[in-house]
Amino acid sequence: MSRLSDRLGTGKVLPIPGVADALQARLVASMGFDALFLSGAGVSFTTLGRPDVGLVNQVEMVERVAAITEVVDLPLLVDGDNGHGNALNVIRTVRSFERAGAAAVMLEDQVFPKRCGHLAGARVVPVEEMEGKIRAAVDARRSEAFLIIGRTDARGVEGLPSAIERAHRYREAGADIIFVEAPRTEDEMATIGRAFPGVPLIANMVEGSLTPQLHNDALAALGFQIIFYPSTILRASLFAARGALKALKDTGTSSQLEAEMLGFQELNTLVGLEEIGQLEDRFVWSEETSKS
């Protein structure tokens, strides 16, 4: 089993912060979390400065996956949108993500261009089309340790019963993990949990969105094992940055902000400066080292 499968096998709840890049991934790893989620929305925000409406392509996501797995040794679950096309595109997406070091890919049943599941206007493909995508993903992966997440956005389009029926069909098609996006109430979340006993389920905690914000323990009691916090880091960072910029603009100095910043040495430690120095000592020639 992969390390992600090992963690799921314990039955313990897994709170998983969303990251947009390798720096955020290093921060999450340094805080002792067990896994990461590469958010397509986060990549769209940080790369393009644009909303999560399907503008990020598969190649851009693979580049982020590779950058993160190069520096962080934690299972990385990756947002695969709708597979970036039809079932043939899903095959390429799965193989590219797996080769780049991801532990799992999330595939959703939205029509392209997709959009954030908590925004209005999402549309879903026929369930048979999505079943084919899931089967293609299962067939394409090189190892069963690479997990397939079947996500449905049908709750806001066709209602909860249809979303649950779709999710069952995605599970039967081979999805290892199930994600019914954007339930509206705690009762709906409980219904989802009862519908999939023993199946790893994802709850998506997007602060201020359509889904109630519940404690991890409460979510576990409802049957959810994987808890995504996809935009928590990014939104908190932007809030803090906006305050810092206002203080700088108003006062003409950043000196008063030092206590609210990551220290200069802390930042260099986080990004692995010491490791780089050790590699330089081992491999980089210079006149000084040649004389010693």
> Are both 62 and 129 inside the same structural domain?
yes
CA-based nearest residue to 27, from 234, 172, 222: 234
Domain count, the chain: 2
Same-domain status, 60 and 108: yes
Instruction: Quote the CA–CA distance of 255 and 269 in Å, as a whole number.
Output: 22
- What is d(CA 250, CA 234) in angstroms, rounded to the nearest whole number? 24
271 lies in the same domain as 173: no
CA–CA distance, 180 with 153 (Å, rounded to integer): 7
Among 189, 209, 230, the domain-final residue is 230
Contact between 150 and 170 (Cβ < 8 Å): yes
Q: Please check whether residue 36 is in contact with residue 76, taking contact to mean a CB–CB distance below 8 angstroms.
A: yes
Instruction: Confirm whether 240 is domain-assigned.
Output: no
Do 58 and 167 fall into the same domain? yes
What's the average model confidence in pLDDT over 240-247?
A: 97
Q: Are 166 and 130 in contact (CB under 8 A)?
A: yes
Do 186 and 282 fall into the same domain? no
115-129 residue pLDDT tens: 777 777 789 999 999
- pLDDT at res. 290: 65
Which pLDDT band holds residue 1 (cuts at 50, 70, 90)? very low
Residues 284 and 196 in one domain: no
Is 249 within a domain? no
- Of the three residues 230, 250, 276, the one that is the final residue of a domain is 230
Q: What CATH number should be reported for the domain holding residue 35?
A: 3.20.20.60
The span from the first CA to the last CA of the chain, in angstroms, equals 48
Residues 40 and 95 in one domain: yes
In a domain, 56, yes or no: yes
Residue 189 falls within a domain, yes or no? yes
In a domain, residue 90? The reply is: yes
Classify residue 255: in a domain, yes or no: no
Is residue 208 located within the same domain as residue 284?
no
- Residue 47 CB partners (closer than 8 Å, separation 6+): 56, 60
Specify whether 221 is located in the same domain as 278. no
Q: Please give the mean pLDDT across all residues of the chain.
A: 94
Do 163 and 219 have their domain in common?
yes
How far is residue 13's CA from residue 90's CA, in Å, rounded to a whole number?
29
Predicted TM-score of the model (pTM): 0.94
Stretch 131-142: mean pLDDT, rounded? 98
CA distances from 124 to 19, 56, 104 (A): 26, 19, 22
Q: Residue 8 falls within a domain, yes or no?
A: yes
Q: 108-141 burial string, b = 16+ CB within 10 Å, else e?
A: bbbbeebbbbbeeebebbebeebbbbbbbbbebb
- CA distances to 17, 25, 53, 278, 284 from 232, in Å: 7, 13, 19, 34, 40
Residue 163 shares a structural domain with residue 34: yes
Of the three residues 186, 212, 230, the one that is the final residue of a domain is 230
CB 205 within 8 A of CB 178: no
Answer yes or no: is 137 within a domain: yes
Same domain, 196 and 291: no
**pLDDT tens for residues 170-225?**
999 999 999 999 999 999 999 999 999 999 999 999 999 899 999 999 999 999 99
Domain around 266: 262-292
**Residues 261-269, mean pLDDT to the nearest whole number:** 94
